[in-house]
Structure 1
């Protein structure tokens, strides 16, 4: 995508030398989470054990057994009044494997394991007692010990909390249409929520860990005792800290700090400045962020060839600043696309402002839609359709990519329109 010589970025620069490439926000988020997981050793071991636990229960027999145990637990909890009934409630689910390329799948893997914690423990215990051979019984024993360890439970709840925050951003960035200003606001709000969790969320999180351990009869350590490193010998101890301090500083704070650090490092200074200056065109809240100096700076630094005369741009901005509060057409706008549509509909003389809005709208914030389109190509032009022409493939790809619009079109209206064109020559095969 971003290859400087043969990538998609190079092809764009051949046609438009002044275009700017913004690396996919969704991919940046995945790289940030991946780096944070690898840099904290406890989290790295957690994901290894998570994969082992899920792989142990991957056979069809174990999946069926897991589902049966889960159904029994749901019935017992409903009878005890612990679960509410209703349409779509208390659906059974399976343990989900974590994908290698989509980090959000790890969040759902963690979430499903929390929901199936007791059921998974029962399946592993049954495998330990009734496994066909020593290998199966040994793997189940190791997975069971890891599942019921306090370190694993602590990391399980911590990642469910932090990845729940980043998962909302990840899902938003993979939508088909996402404006750069909205994406920037999502990134800032995600970082703000992580900072808030680090500064004020330890007490509530610690209470949730203790409650989870009590509910599943997991032995928790004495948090006021001294944390012992290595094998516990006094000669190996370097720091005199409590167990609570270890879990709070070296795991809880470290995981959040690495995520914040990676999120900050994935945005270079040029991209960050481009996003900040572009936010001055945000029409929300009656152009609350409107700033003439920032918009002129945006044109001067990033689009000097598209807006050669800054004096004309400043004059148009001053006229527009006076008019958007008076004209009803420019009130209650929420996106840059709506602002651009109003420029076209009202035929205002602010051509330079409209050009800047169009340029900002062309900045891609996610390549998820593009990557899905490439993946769909092998389904459309497969081995049996290898002689399909490029024009026909392009037409089919357009229908697939814009299927939300296509679904609104009535097939009969298309037939009637072609019929109204008159007699046409058709080649029958």
Structure 2
């Protein structure tokens, strides 16, 4: 049990000093001793977090440094040591620490179910105050549960919309599509105009599970059966969706020069920002990326068979807290601070992400400065998230990344590939 577990009394705030307020008041905390444990009344919390920035100028390390400075100013005896890693490394780094028997107090990562299954994590009830728990977007909080108990605390969220290049669409005399048939027709017209990627379909290893889920949902299916709670990857609806993709987009040369199974999301986004893509599914960060390159774009809900998709794909990243060091009180108090409305707003605005609290979402929905994120906020209420509460999801996601591109490849069989993925899911479920 960590030093000072019972020495530092958890103090409930009547008014949180947010980053902005701390700046106004001129409060400066000395961080030189951060990471060191002092006397018997001092506790150092270690947090490993992911980097949402795209350069050193907006690294998440800067966000956390400011937040910790403000927190430590009003919490004498509690230090927070934050280490930020790229998304390519952070999950693996945390796993290494856990496997070595030295987990951080907190980890802000992409998954939580495996750690919860091994009884390594605190429940959210052990950490967060009731007002903070109540403020979490219910849909996201529910996705953080394993067997009805919440272990994953949503930290950031996002949804997908169909982005289209307004300049290319105007040149071809097109309107944004609302159905699959219109999307295919638009892609045909864009191809005739010489557009490199009429519809960019990134089914490469980087994020194939996301593009796949968006298309499954638009076809009335998904990874799981909502009523039965079981995997339904090879359902009739899902097979029909991938048959349509193979025959009406990929087979007709409407997805560009790179085979979908080899096209990664980052490459597709870069191509869109370069003006080479007519349409693709994108999340909020693509707005800034495209705007920087001068690309004029529009955004609409993903087209479906008969009209706009009624269910969008939602994604959440997770804050977790490991039990080993025994700092539940201090961790809980720090997380209450992290989830303060102004701090959530600061983070969401810095990285073009959707807030995970109702209070911050309400502000963003009505603030002119956040108008570009409003369509994504509206989709969040209609979204479905990955089945991250299942320890089997890691194996299923890996399988999708490896195999799904073959479903739309020349000579590929959607029913066979989806059947293989269903078998992978069944085996992973049996191993839980």
- The verdict on a shared fold, with TM-score over 0.5 as the criterion, is no
More strand by share: 2
Task: Determine which structure has greater relative contact order: mean sequence separation of CA pairs < 8 Å that are 6+ residues apart, divided by chain length.
Answer: 2
Per the shorter chain, which TM-score range? under 0.3
Taking structure 2 as the reference length, the TM-score comes to 0.23
Structure with greater helix share of residues: 1
Larger-gyration structure (1/2): 1
